Every structure is written in structure tokens, then in C-alpha cells.
Structure 1
Amino acid sequence: MTWQTRLLFACACWSVGGGVSPAQEAGRGALPNVVLIITDDMGSADLSSYGATDIRTPRIDSLARDGVRMTAFYANAPVCTPTRAGLISGRYQQRYGLEEPMPSAGRPGGDVGLPGSPYSLPNLLAQRGYVTALVGKWHLGYRAEFSPRAHGFGSFFGLKSGYHDFYAHTGGDGKPDLWEDDRPVVMEGYTTDLITDRAVRFLEDHASRRFFLEIAYNAPHWPYQPPGRPSVAIDNARHVRPWDEATGTRADYVAMVEQVDRGVGRVLDTLERLRLAPDTIVIFTNDNGGEWLADNRPFFNRKSSVWEGGIRVPALIRWPGRIPAGTVSPQVGITMDLSATIVAATGGAAPAEARYEGLDLLPMLRGTVAPVTRTLFWRTAVGGRSQVAVRSGDWKLMLDGNNAFVFDVRADPGERQDLTRQRQDVARRLRALVAAWEADVDAEWKASGVNPRGAAGAVVH
């Protein structure tokens, strides 16, 4: 057992000590359903409940009113593929060589992915009798051994690439990118609405079963194509990045987010209509910080960086009667905590063999345990620039290229007051933590023979 695993195991045991699992509560005859909703490239301040003034998101915000809003939640990574790998595996994605966005199938590095495992989040739930489905974005591999089905999703409808045209349903290579399980399909419609339609249908078809449904919207990821206005996004063959061409406006972005909100509303209404809401955990989050049209305030920088603006994301969780309504939690969390939390809520902790590295957040969110101090790590090399960060308690060490910065991110969430000179003791302590963590995760991927760095190259993500 590594030092990091021992630390997380100790925190998890301490946080739930003396309590009982949700399944053991008096009068609880059945385990909950779970609906996990993930958006793509949404800014940390692009929901009304997180301070947005030009975007209306009443249905998503209702989860904050009826549940808990987390104020210190992080994505596993500042880009798509690695965060999703952390969610599905419940572990740091560096252990699988997935540290950068996965390119299209026919490009260098496009033949990699997250190998199927009996301990993947959907597989663990399927083993517990849950009907499982993914509707929306995958971006963890094109081949069958990397597919949603290989990880325990009983069904999959959606896209496998990072970039996706909302009307043509093509990926970054210009090829069709809409799938039913591992079979390409052709459909008309706006992708956000197609995802919502299929999610609603799944709920209607499986209302009598325990289910785990992941709804992974690709909005508001670029191309910035608002609903009701079909357009040609960009020349796919050129693979240009969104900031290379002034495509899209804030108004386009707002329309895309608000369409997601309508879709979430339809999902919530369906749960109510089918009388499933009282027994369903609904989780809303995002995969990384927002792009150039997003609002990441008060955090600095954006997607592709491990500055706070690239990794701080919204997180809302509703579980009627289990999580107090209208609460705000300062508990520090990360995407892979959702894996541990979902598994714990649906029948107990993951088996030791799964080696989950996330923390069950429920005791803290329910208020039965005080917030737990965390030590979390991030690393990226998107665009060829190496960045590594660690947050330990309120302190964050940011290594950006050859520069090191120390911040108290509780007092200075915008990372404006570099305290490296004054707190060399903190810098030295956190550097040692980073070195130990990197040695640990890199030993695992090196043993697998996978190179996580540079595989993606210049990729549209």
C-alpha cells in the first residue's frame, strides 16, 4: 500500500467512523437510484447558483435549493479525458497513462483508452444489480476494449470524441461521431436535445429497476453552436483551436448552457412524474474549467491549466431526506470522490482490490462529520507546458514550467498573492509531497508500458 493510499484510507475510515451506511438506516428498504449529470467546459461561475448574472439556470440551481452546493470542488484534471478516467476508475488517471485529451481514432495516440475493469464505477454498480447507462460523451477510447460497455455500462448512446459538431454529429476528424453502443448511427437533431431525449427514455424504460444513469452533455464545449441555429462550425480538416478563430460569442455560449438547463429540467420532471425523485441521488458537476467564452471568476486562468480556473468546478448534490436541503459545504472534493460516494451510497465501500483513491463525501455533506482536510494532486502537459499542483489543506503549490508559486487558496482563491518568499517551509513540504506522488503514479504507468505524455500531440479538445 502506497503512502497516498494509506493517507486516503485513513481519512475515509476516520470520516465515517461510528456511523452507519445509508443502506443500514432504519426504514430504508431499497438502495437509491443515481443520476450523474456532467457538463463539458462550463465555467465555475456560469450557473446562477454560483454567481452568474447573464445566464439563467433555474433547473440546475434547484439542486442547490433542494440539496447541497459545494464551494471547493475540483475536477480531476483541467481537460476532458483524464477527468473522465478519474471518474470511471475512481483513481488518479495518471495511473492509466491518460493525462491529456485523447485524439481522434485515426490520429497518433488515438488507439489508446481506459481499459475495461471489473472495478470501474458502472461495473461495481452493475454487480450490485443496477441497470447502468451512459448517455452523452465518453472520450475514453474508440476500441471495444475501451468502450462504455467494457466498463459495465449496459447501454451507451452518444459521442466518443472530444470535439463534436452539434448538428452534423462529426468529430474533430470530420468523421461521423454518434454511437449506439459500439455501432455508429445517423440521426437528425441538436446533440444536447438528443442526449436529453435518450436520458428521459431510459428513465421511463427502467422506472421499476434500480439504475445508475450518467448524462454527459458535451455542451458548452466548442464549437459554439447555439440551439435552433444550424451552422458549419469550422473546417474540421484544419483542426484549429477555438481561440485561433473568433467563432462564437458569449450569447451563443449562454444559449448553449441554458439549453442544458432545460434538458436537466426535463430529467428532473421525469423523475417527479415517475415518482422516483425521493429515492434518487442527483449529482451535477463539470469536467474542467471553462474555455475563453466561459466565466471562471474569481479563479485565475482556465481550461488546460492547473491554476484554480482550470480545475475548480461546480458540484451540486440532491438526495431528499438524506442531504439537508439548501446547504453549502466547504468540504474540498474532487471528481473521483463522486465514484467513492456513489459506491458507498449504493451498498457500501468499493472492495480493496478496486484501490479507489476518492473519499466518500456523504458524512461531510450530511453534516454528521466535520469537513476533512485533503491533499490532492494535479498534473498536465497540454500544449507542451508542464504544470503540477498540490493542494494540502488551504495551501497550494503551483509548479508552472520553471516557476513555483505558493498560495493560501482559502484566503486567496484568485491566486494573486504569491507567498513563496515568505513560506519556503510550505514550499519545501509540498514539493516533497509532489515528488512522492509523482513517483507513485508514474511507477504504475511505467509498469504498464503506456506513455501518458505527448501521445495526444496537437489535438482539438
Structure 2
Amino acid sequence: MGYADLGSYGARDIRTPNLDRLAREGVRFTDFYANASTCTPTRAGLISGRYQQRYLLEAPLGANGAASSAGRGLEASPYSLPRLLKSRGYATALFGKWHLGYTATQSPNAHGFDTFFGLKSGYHDYWRHNDSRGQPDLWENDTPVTVYGYTTDLITARTVKFIEAHAAEPFFIDVAYNAPHWPFQRPETPSVAANNARFVKPADSLTSSRADYVAMVERVDRGVGEILAALEQQGLTRNTLVIFTNDNGGEWLSDNTPLFNRKWTTWEGGIRVPAMARWPGRIPPKQVTPQVGITMDLTATILAAAGVVVPAEAKLDGVNLLPLMEGRTPAMERTLFWRAAVGAGIMRAARDGEHKIVVDGDHLFLYNVRRDPGERTDLARSRPDLARALRLKLESWEAQVNAEAATRR
């Protein structure tokens, strides 16, 4: 989803009253980032709480059975987010997209989710639930199932049902909507095309429209409204931390204003994403924060909110943002790093305070992304000292994550 595809982030053609309500009743981040510019790596960052490069997961997995997914995935660990929550007595569920592996040791259940319903691949047909290879891709735990309905609505319904069933105990739900990921299929009409679960591009003869995309986002917003209503009906609103974000920047039908570029890249449009959190009585309403954050910070934050004592062996890279969200501590300086496979090449980036470098091939760019989020004014020629300092930090980080990754080969 694009940075500007919510009303609270400037959308004018998409109606998102429920997500805007989350922003209004809690805190909205202006400078929040996904762990990566694509889905699998970012999701690995959430489940592990660490840089995904440590696990050799820097590009999306292919469909089940594809050569690009053979053997790849996030192996189960006693320190996975849901496993750590289970140690505190939480019921755990994932409804929606997994995309972190297909083997038994890489499954949602192996990672500590008591209940899983959704898709294991990167995307599927929203109506027929087939993946890019035409194979069925709708699962109940590790069993393929056939259920009629639009995937977004099925995810919402399962989430509401879980809330109702577990209202009397602590629970954690990863509501992993796959919308508005392509294929850009509207919720009003079932797919009838023979090969609709595919990525259509602007120049294709039969392509999708912004209106299709808008309908998909608005259906997600409707689902969020139903989930918030379920919490209210069960008397759980004031005792539930609700977080919303997405796993990478927007595609070509998205609106990333005022950011530059799109998904797959380490430009701001590929990695800066909406993020908001609500917890009535704990997080003051109507906050907007410039705090720099990243997906794996949510892991540390959720564990802290649940009172989990995190073992040192978990080695979380993220930080707990709850004190900041509660207004108890001021914004802190952060240094964050990205590395992403882009086609046949690699893009890198590092943000330190308000400055960021982007390394694209042999080119190094330097920006003040607080003042220049569109990355239009390259400061490398006027601040080569800062460009060099950030490059050295990036190289040091790469050496460190590469050394750990080498132990997993």
C-alpha cells in the first residue's frame, strides 16, 4: 500500500474512516519504515524481531514448488514472536498471508501460531485462492481447504470469530491482509479470467485501474472496522493494543506522495510506510510523531506490552516504542539499514537521524529525508564527510549480518 493511501496520510480518493479512526484515537508515525522493500523479508523481521539478512531472506519466496523457494524460509525458533507470547499464556493466531516458507519447520504453527488460516505464498487469486502456479493456496493450519469468498472478507471473518472465542484470555492476532497486493481484483465481482492471479503492468492491453485498487483498500478498511467493533462488543477496547502498518511501499497503482519511487527499491517510496497504534488509556489520542521506527520495533513493542521477559538469546534488533507512544519518553535518534535485491542488482540504504544514504550500483546519494522526503536534493557533493560516515556504518552493519548469515548456509 502507498504512503498516501489513507485519509490520515493525505488520501483524497480513498475512504478509510476506520483506519483514520485508529490514527485519531492513538499515535500516527510520519517516519516509519518496513524492514525491507518487499514482503518476505519484512515479515521475517516481524516474526524474528531482527534484521532478516541474518536469515538469508532478502527477496520474496516464489510459490510453493518454485525453484526460487526451494529450501528457503524462516526456520522455527523458540524466540519467534508468537512463541514468546505463548510463553506468557497468549492464544496466538495468524489470519492472512504467511510467505515465510512451505515446509513443516517453516510453517506458522511451527513458529507458535495456534491457529492459521490464509495463504502461504506471496499472493493468490482473491476468489479462487490459487497461487501464481495455479495451485490451491488456502490453508487451515497445514491442511489445504476450499472456502468460498473474497480473501479479505475471509480474513476479517476469521479474526472476528477468534476474538469472540478468546475474549476471556490474552490473545495475539496477526491480521495479515494480502490486499491491496496484486492481482488487483475488486471485492464486488468474482474472478472469471483463466489466469487472473498475476501482476498486470500499466502497458498491458488488459490492465487494472486505480479504481480497482481503491476498492481493495476500502474493503480492508471495512474489515478493520468490523474487527474494532468486535473488540468493542467484547469489552476489550481499552485492554487491546491495535497496530496497523504494511510490509513495503506501494506499487504502480498506489500513491506514495510525497515519497520517491516504489516497492522493491530502497528509496523512501519503497520502504517508508504508514504506521499507527491505539491503546486507549495507555497511548494518548491525536498524536503525530516523527519518531523513526521500523517493523522489527513492533516485535519488541508487542512483547513489552504483553509483559514478556525476552531471553537474551533472542537478540532482538528492534526497540520497544511503547514508552514513546505513551508519551513517557521523547523521540530518540535511530540508525537503520536496508539491503534489497532489485532485479539482478542490489540496493542499499542507511538512515541516521534525519539523513539517509542510498547506494544504487556505483552511485551513492545523500539526503536529508526529514526536510526532503522526496529525495530530490542530493547532498553528497556538499557533505562528502557525512556520506562517507554513513557508508562506513552501512559497511560495518553488512559485515556483521553477513557473518551471522554465513553460519546458516
Same fold, TM-score > 0.5, yes or no = yes
Residue of structure 2 aligned with 1:324, choices 284, 296, 299: 284
1:53 aligns with 2:30: no
Pick closer, same or farther for the CA change 1:88–1:233 going to 2, 3 Å.
farther
Give 1:106 shift: 1.2
What's the counterpart of residue 295 of structure 1? 255
Residue of structure 1 aligned with 2:179, choices 196, 205, 219: 219
Amino acid at match of 1:82: P
Amino acid at match of 2:47: I
Does the residue aligned with 2:292 lie in a helix, a strand or coil? strand
User: RCO (CA 8 Å, sep 6+): is it higher in 1 or 2?
Assistant: 1
Give 1:382 shift: 2.7
Residue of structure 2 aligned with 1:206, choices 143, 166, 176: 166
Pick closer, same or farther for the CA change 1:236–1:256 going to 2, 3 Å.
closer
Residue of structure 2 aligned with 1:271, choices 231, 235, 243: 231
Q: Distance in 2 between matches of 1:323 and 1:240?
A: 39
1:74 aligns with 2:15: no
Amino acid at match of 1:251: A
Amino acid at match of 1:125: L
Amino acid at match of 1:170: N
Q: Distance in 2 between matches of 1:91 and 1:420?
A: 30
Pick closer, same or farther for the CA change 1:73–1:349 going to 2, 3 Å.
farther
Amino acid at match of 2:44: A
Amino acid at match of 2:306: T
1:144 aligns with 2:144: no
| RMSD value, Cα | 1.3
Q: Distance in 1 between matches of 2:78 and 2:20?
A: 35
Give 1:429 shift: 0.2
Q: Distance in 2 between matches of 1:233 and 1:74?
A: 35
Does the residue aligned with 2:42 lie in a helix, a strand or coil? helix
Amino acid at match of 2:83: N
Asked whether the 8 Å contact 2:183–2:199 carries over to 1, the reply is no
Asked whether the 8 Å contact 1:306–1:380 carries over to 2, the reply is yes
Amino acid at match of 2:303: V
What's the counterpart of residue 421 of structure 1? 381
Asked whether the 8 Å contact 2:85–2:308 carries over to 1, the reply is no
1:105 aligns with 2:64: yes
Q: Distance in 2 between matches of 1:102 and 1:293?
A: 23
Q: Distance in 2 between matches of 1:428 and 1:300?
A: 23
What's the counterpart of residue 309 of structure 1? 269
How do residues 159-178 of structure 1 correspond to structure 2 at under 5 angstroms? Answer: 159-178=119-138
Q: Distance in 1 between matches of 2:199 and 2:270?
A: 21
Asked whether the 8 Å contact 2:182–2:199 carries over to 1, the reply is no
What's the counterpart of residue 208 of structure 2? 248
Q: Distance in 2 between matches of 1:391 and 1:378?
A: 9
How do residues 190-205 of structure 1 correspond to structure 2 at under 5 angstroms? Answer: 190-205=150-165
> 1:223-251 deviations in whole A, cap 9, x for unaligned?
110111122467379x6664563521000
Could you tell me which runs of 5 or more consecutive residues in structure 2 were left unpaired when the two chains were aligned: none
Question: How many residues in Structure 1 have an aligned counterpart in Structure 2?
Answer: 407
Does the residue aligned with 1:227 lie in a helix, a strand or coil? coil
Does the residue aligned with 2:230 lie in a helix, a strand or coil? helix
> 1:190-222 deviations in whole A, cap 9, x for unaligned?
000000010011001111110001100000001
Residue of structure 1 aligned with 2:406, choices 446, 450, 458: 446
% identical equivalent positions: 61
Amino acid at match of 1:102: L
Q: Distance in 2 between matches of 1:240 and 1:304?
A: 14
TM-score by length of 1: 0.87
What's the counterpart of residue 257 of structure 1? 217
Could you tell me which runs of 5 or more consecutive residues in structure 1 were left unpaired when the two chains were aligned: 1-41, 450-461
What's the counterpart of residue 92 of structure 1? 51
Asked whether the 8 Å contact 2:5–2:11 carries over to 1, the reply is yes
Pick closer, same or farther for the CA change 1:128–1:235 going to 2, 3 Å.
same
1:180 aligns with 2:122: no
Q: Distance in 1 between matches of 2:178 and 2:63?
A: 16
Q: Distance in 1 between matches of 2:241 and 2:207?
A: 37
1:83 aligns with 2:42: yes
